[in-house]
Amino acid sequence: MTVTHPGELIHLTVLLDEAIEALEIKAERANGIYVDGTFGRGGHSRKLLQQLGPQGRLIAFDKDPYAIANAEQIQDPRFHIVHDSFATMAESLHAIGVTQVDGILMDLGISSPQVDDADRGFSFRHDGPLDMRMDTTRGQSAAAWLAQEEEEKIREVIDNYGEERFAFQIAKAIVARRAIEPISSTRQLAELVANAVKTREKGKDPATRTFQAIRIFINQELADLETGLAAAYDLLAPNGRLAVISFHSLEDRIVKQFMNAKAKIEQPDRRLPIRSVDLPQPKMRLLSRVKPSEAEVLANPRARSAIMRVAQKIGEVQ
């Protein structure tokens, strides 16, 4: 657990021990190079550093300026932080002379401090400016996007990224409201959505899917994930491991399909005379699918939707 900005906001790292174990930092790999794709508030990175040997290296990424400020407090020559998305992994690592790594961890989604800080605009539970940017130093806020985007595009985003069956009604309501006044606060958007959504799953706020959808779009989360996964595979050394923690079905589907595709053996035309030694081989080995324990979910209810998938890049037999 780490205390973060502002002082009262607490973040519990999800699947902390399980993620470190998944990378299998054995003695012979303790001096290797590892990547933490989302530093967040540093739970995984700090635990990883405890496992590394004196010559080991850890490169972490994050788009959030608060996360970068937190990371810069780590005074460890083995640690390097990059203020950017893990989608830039290949270019960023090559820029510092790293072309191959021994393990990569990608913890997706947003952290509890980001949700709980009303000024970030991620949550419908706290009234604040409708921002939703993970990187507040660049890009367009949710309010700015909603103020000028076409109704059909808004509907498409809410439908595709929120899987919201009332996307048409919500988009129509947004366009009607902004003609009267700017939609600049989280409360305004949440109330507007609540009026447009006639029924909702028990125990779920009507605004949940819409806020998720706009946040994913504003931060290009799914596009970054696809780019980051491809970069991660290319960077991994033979027998290196990739562990990805996702928090909703859209993310997990992308991760699952990527790993399955790499683990699949392409079947050649049976009519061709191909020797068994020349048959195509899988590129990755699927290792595990891990969910939080009952105890972790009890201590941190936000962990309940987490799924970690782990795969290993296939190399030469040891």
Specify binding-site residues for S-adenosyl-L-methionine.
42-44, 62, 86, 107, 114
- Return the bridge partners of 290, or none: 308
Binding-site residues from annotation: 42-44, 62, 86, 107, 114
**Could you tell me how far CA 193 lies from the centroid of its own chain?**
25
In order, the DSSP letters of 83-124 are EB-GGGHHHHHHHTT---EEEEEEE-S--HHHHH-GGG---S
Rounded to 5, what percent of the chain is helix, strand, coil?
45, 20, 40
Between CA 72 and CA 80 the distance in angstroms is 9
Between CA 169 and CA 187 the distance in angstroms is 18
Q: Which amino acid is at 197?
A: V
Strands 79-83 and 57-62: parallel
The region that residue 122 occupies, defined by phi over 0 for left and psi between -120 and 50 for alpha, beta otherwise, is alpha
